[in-house]
């Protein structure tokens, strides 16, 4: 029995085990889910032990625990640091899910549920690949250090503290991460670029209390109007971000890379239908893929203030709130960007209101030179696992850990992603294609097998 | 014992009875409070009977019931139609109340609670004035028709249907309403102008579902950004409303009236401290009082969309919502204004989103020529009840019923208001000054007594 046949034979067992993991609502941003976070961490630790990892630990942090396990019985072979996360995004708005977010459900060739793609399903691909190799060969052909965190969706702050203080323990020849998407169904992909992410929150206070809009309207400053006017001024007419200095360090795409990206088998029609809006928007002078992968953005992620209930209430509220984020590209400096953004917002706001400006997280962009031989081994493993041509792509999302690891350890980072762009990672009806889940287990198993042939 | 002495003697009884009324959370805009609305209607009917009104009825409507009672035993004397409302605004945000909204509480010389000023406290002033006259004289010197509704805070739609179909029953020589404010503490006032109110709700839909802001940011239209850009375009740099045609019918103030209004004993410093913002805003070329009373406005009353919870969520939401209103002045036509506003909003929105535009209510402005002799009697009664100079003022708020009655019956409307501009009518810590409450009972009793001297 080869690896592929073994993976096929265990089809139902893979899914049943994955369902258990997905049912735990390990939402890292909502404090009431702390017990679920703990449960998920214990679940991961247990599975690490079952697939033969040793020295398995649940490592407490200031917020949510890390889970670590290792297998170091292949002297002279590559050491891989494998990273994933067991925390998930909040499922709200609940009403828009076809099946409940924490009851995994198969419809057609997809598995639906929060965390199916981002990232529990992909962590599980590795656990099952390791299990397959162990069952077929009795051991692992490489050295593996597996680290799974619980704060990816809230900025990975404590992960990095841990890594910095355990550099020796984590020393490896390459980092492998499966937390990204393929270019499309049937196009297995290796991601070599990610955007960075700064996340901000604003509180604008006008009147010291809510006021009657009849008695005070026309003279009292309305923080909702002022919030609107502020965000309208943060893009110019070409949809460029209107913050002085914002673009000064943005790396230009080389002609070669631009050509390669724009010749990928990427389906604009499919993208438009996933978005589902009457039209797209974006920065003048860039193609859609360039806008998504290689250009920075500023997006509102939430606004609220005043009366949001049934019917009408004639109020001028005291406060208006916004959550927003900037996606960053090489070589923007996240700390400098927070300063530029805050400075411009303070400059744009009228003197009739107070501002509270908070930075919830920062993270730099990352781009890899994909000439290292491990990249070629990974590409071949994808071809073998999926039976399809594999490609190199970038992605618009952010994995702060990849950037930090790349900077700190100077090792190649391989992003083997098995999600899809329309997987609804942070939205209702998140799902993973079953073909990608099973193809992923095979490809990862083949990749580890191939790495076992490399002498370090 | 004269009227004033009688009112003073019953001090505790007035308050105890008012507290009962205020404890009923008769919130008309929230359907779960329907039983409280019914309770409040029954409470008003009971008190009408106790003060000697006859033919008292609770009249069902499509939404909340009207309460009606009358006393018609003064032939040849004026017939007064007295209007008030027993419904109140929602109390949210609850956390900002010093004492619970439906537990009336005296602090200093103020009584706090939802409805104290708007409008239960003022309805109660009339009930206690009628009680005083009845106890001292054994009857009423005028004919009175008292109508108290439960939909004032949601647009008074059914009230007007009732009035139109009962014109004969309601026929009167004047309308009296106590639902407005005095210019300031110690300045009893008669309001002769009100602004109209149109209330709108928007739903803007971009993507057909919530999207990951990393994967889609830069190309997917963000309805939160588009909402912001829309509202930023609805005022020009002079804070005039940027809707073509919006000002074309706005009545100009006469020199005489402008002079009278701007010489009122109005305290700008007190107004600024009530607003409590670092500064005021407003339309260029108008004084603050003109902006508040005689110029139209467009105010956002609520916005929401995307993630509003704890921490961060990197989402581009499918939908963004806004509630907003326009305050109108003579001679703007509310129906035409809704059309102009909708047209401009549709014009301003990009083609990347869908719009759902709803008009929740409309209402025209009102201004009275205050030369009718009843106005002078009312002014004298205020002087007698309060022991202070009384003035004629306008107000920025809206009472649709006054406009409708004025148009339909062509009778004088007397707005004898006992609230104060800083009473927080639609906000936390709503209150009424106890001096105004007790002075109001006396002034109203003196006014009805004086009307009894008029032959019709």
Prediction ipTM score: 0.83
B309 and B231 co-located in one domain: yes
| Closest residue in A to B195 (Cα–Cα) | A214
Confidence band of B174 (pLDDT split at 50, 70, 90) = very high
| B250 inside 8 A of chain A by CB | no
Q: Mean of the pLDDT values across residues A83-106?
A: 96
Quote the pLDDT of residue A319. Answer: 98
Residues A377 and A347 in one domain: no
Q: Which pLDDT score is estimated for B78?
A: 98
Residue A406 structure tokens:
């790349």
User: pLDDT at position B370, please?
Assistant: 78
Question: pLDDT value at position A1?
Answer: 86
Return the residue in B96, B215, B270, B396 with the most chain A beta carbons within 10 A, the one to mutate for interface testing.
B215
Q: What is the pLDDT of residues B440-452, one digit of tens each?
A: 999 999 999 999 9
pTM: 0.83
Q: Is residue B271 part of a domain?
A: no
Catalytic, out of B118, B152, B173, B423: B152
**How close, in Å, is residue A119 to chain B by CA atoms?**
14
Instruction: Clarify whether residues A24 and A148 are in a common domain.
Output: yes
Q: Are residues B40 and B186 in the same domain?
A: yes
> What are φ and ψ of residue B92, in 5° steps?
-60, 150
Is residue B256 domain-resident?
yes
**Through-space distance between the first and last CA atoms of chain A, rounded to whole angstroms:** 29
Instruction: Report whether pLDDT(A156) > 90.
Output: no
> What mean pLDDT is predicted for residues B323-331?
97
In the predicted structure, residue A426 carries a pLDDT above the cut 90: no
Mutate to test the interface with B, among A114, A217, A268, A348 (most CBs of B within 10 A): A217
Q: Any idea how long chain B is?
A: 456
Q: Is residue B145 part of a domain?
A: yes
Whether residue B419 is found in the same domain as residue B295: no
pLDDT at B144: 98
Q: Are residues A323 and A418 in the same domain?
A: no
The predicted structure's pLDDT at residue B76: 96
Domain assignment of residue A270, yes or no? no
pLDDT > 80? residue A40: yes
> Quick one: which of B414, B415, B408, B434 has its CA closest to B423?
B434
Please check whether residue B258 lies inside any domain of the structure: yes
Q: At A236, is the pLDDT very low, low, confident or very high (cuts 50, 70, 90)?
A: very high
Residue A256 lies in a domain: no
Mean pLDDT of A95-113: 97
* Residue A157 banded pLDDT, cuts 50, 70, 90: confident
Residues 393-412 of B with CB under 8 A from A: 395-398
At A370-418, the pLDDT tens digits run 778 999 999 999 999 999 999 999 999 988 788 888 888 999 999 999 9
List of chain A residues whose C-beta atoms are within 8 Å of the C-beta of residue B96: 209-210
**Is pLDDT of A145 > 90?**
yes
Do B47 and B184 belong to one domain? Answer: yes
- The residue among A341, A361, A381 that closes a domain is A361
Q: Who among B209, B214, B426 is closest to A276 (CB)?
A: B209
Mean pLDDT score of chain B: 95
pLDDT given at position A401: 81
Going edge to edge, which strands form the sheet with B297-306?
A354-361, A196-205, A319-328, A297-306, B297-306, B319-328, B196-205, B354-361
Cα A235 to Cα A324: distance, rounded to the nearest angstrom: 13
Q: Are residues A310 and A402 in the same domain?
A: no
Q: What percent of chain A clears pLDDT 90, i.e. is strictly above it?
A: 91
Q: Which of B179, B184, B115 is nearest to B421 (CA)?
A: B184
Q: Does any CB of chain A come closer than 8 Å to the CB of residue B199?
A: yes
- CATH number, domain containing residue B410: 3.40.630.10
Is B214's CB within 8 Å of A421's CB? no
Q: Could you tell me if A10 and A143 lie in one domain?
A: yes
B208 touches chain A (CB under 8 A): yes
Q: Which of A346, A361, A376 is the last residue of a domain?
A: A361
pLDDT at position B12 is 95
Query: Is the pLDDT reported for residue B456 higher than 90?
Result: no
B172-176 average pLDDT score: 96
Domain boundary among A337, A361, A385: A361
Res. B408 pLDDT band, cuts 50 70 90: confident
Mean pLDDT of B122-138: 97
- Which pLDDT score, from 0 to 100, does residue A421 have? 81
Instruction: Tell me, yes or no, whether A100 and A31 share the same domain.
Output: yes
Average pLDDT, chain A: 95
* pLDDT tens digits for range B223-263: 999 999 999 999 999 999 999 999 999 999 999 999 999 99
B352 in any annotated domain:
yes
Q: Domain count for chain B, please give it.
A: 2
Lowest-confidence range among A344-348, A367-371, A434-438?
Answer: A367-371
CA distance linking residue B265 with residue B388, whole number of Å: 13
A439 and A347 in a common domain: no
Q: Taking 90 as the threshold, does the pLDDT of residue B95 lie above it?
A: yes
Q: Domain containing A226: what range?
A: 196-250+296-361
- State residue B66's pLDDT score: 98
Instruction: Looking at the structure, tell me whether residues A210 and A338 fall in a common domain.
Output: yes
Whether residue A292 lies within 8 A of chain B, CB to CB, comes out as yes
CATH number for the domain including B295? 3.30.70.360
Structure confidence at residue B369 as a pLDDT band (50, 70, 90) = confident
Mean pLDDT of B320-329: 98
Considering the domain boundaries, does residue A145 fall inside one?
Answer: yes
B424 closest CB neighbour out of A209, A225, A288? A209
Range name among A227-231, A434-438, B155-159 with the lowest pLDDT average: B155-159
Whether B157 is catalytic is no
Average pLDDT of span B3-27: 97
Task: Please indicate if any CB of chain B lies within 8 Å of the CB of A309.
Answer: yes
In sequence order, the β-bridge partners of residue A212 are: A315
Q: Quote the CA–CA distance of A155 and A168 in Å, as a whole number.
A: 24
């Amino acid at each position: 029995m080869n690896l592929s046949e073994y993976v096929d034979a265990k089809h139902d067992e893979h899914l049943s085990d994955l369902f258990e993991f997905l049912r735990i609502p390990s939402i890292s941003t909502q404090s009431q889910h702390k017990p679920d976070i703990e449960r998920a961490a214990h679940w991961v630790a247990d599975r690490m032990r079952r697939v033969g990892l040793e020295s398995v630990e649940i490592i407490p942090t200031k917020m949510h625990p890390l889970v670590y396990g290792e297998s170091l019985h292949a002297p002279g072979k590559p050491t891989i640091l494998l990273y994933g996360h067991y925390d998930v995004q909040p499922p709200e708005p609940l009403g828009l899910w076809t099946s409940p977010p924490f009851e995994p459900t198969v419809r057609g060739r997809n598995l639906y549920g929060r965390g199916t793609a981002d990232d529990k399903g992909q962590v599980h691909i590795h656990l099952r690949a390791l299990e397959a190799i162990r069952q077929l060969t009795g051991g692992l052909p490489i050295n593996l250090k597996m680290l799974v965190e619980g704060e990816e969706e809230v900025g990975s702050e404590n992960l990095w503290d841990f890594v910095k203080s355990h550099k020796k323990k984590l020393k490896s020849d390459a980092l492998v991460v499966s937390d990204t998407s393929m270019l499309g169904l049937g196009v297995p992909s290796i991601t070599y670029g990610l955007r960075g992410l700064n996340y901000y929150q604003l509180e604008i206070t006008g009147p010291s209390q809510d006021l009657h809009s009849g008695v005070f309207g026309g003279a009292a400053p309305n923080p909702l109007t002022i919030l609107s006017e502020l965000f309208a001024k943060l893009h110019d007419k070409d949809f460029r971000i209107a913050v002085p200095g914002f673009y000064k360090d943005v790396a230009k795409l080389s002609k070669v890379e631009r050509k390669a990206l724009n010749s990928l088998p990427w389906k604009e029609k499919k993208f438009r239908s996933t978005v589902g809006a009457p039209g797209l928007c974006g920065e003048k002078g860039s193609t859609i893929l360039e806008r998504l992968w290689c250009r920075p953005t500023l997006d509102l992620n939430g606004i609220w203030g005043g009366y949001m209930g049934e019917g009408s209430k004639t109020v001028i509220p005291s406060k208006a709130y916004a959550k927003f984020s900037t996606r960053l590209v090489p070589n923007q400096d996240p700390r400098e960007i927070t300063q530029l953004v805050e400075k411009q917002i303070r400059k744009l706001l009228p003197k009739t209101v107070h501002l509270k400006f908070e930075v919830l997280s920062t993270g730099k962009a990352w781009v890899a030179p994909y000439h290292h031989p491990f990249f070629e081994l990974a590409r071949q493993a994808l071809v073998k696992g999926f039976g399809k041509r594999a490609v190199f792509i970038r992605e618009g999302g952010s994995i702060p850990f990849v950037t930090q690891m790349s900077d700190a350890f100077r090792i190649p980072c391989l992003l083997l992603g098995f999600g899809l762009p329309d997987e609804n990672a942070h939205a209702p009806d998140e799902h993973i294609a079953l073909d990608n889940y099973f193809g992923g287990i095979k490809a990862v198993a083949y990749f580890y097998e191939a790495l076992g042939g490399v002498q370090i």
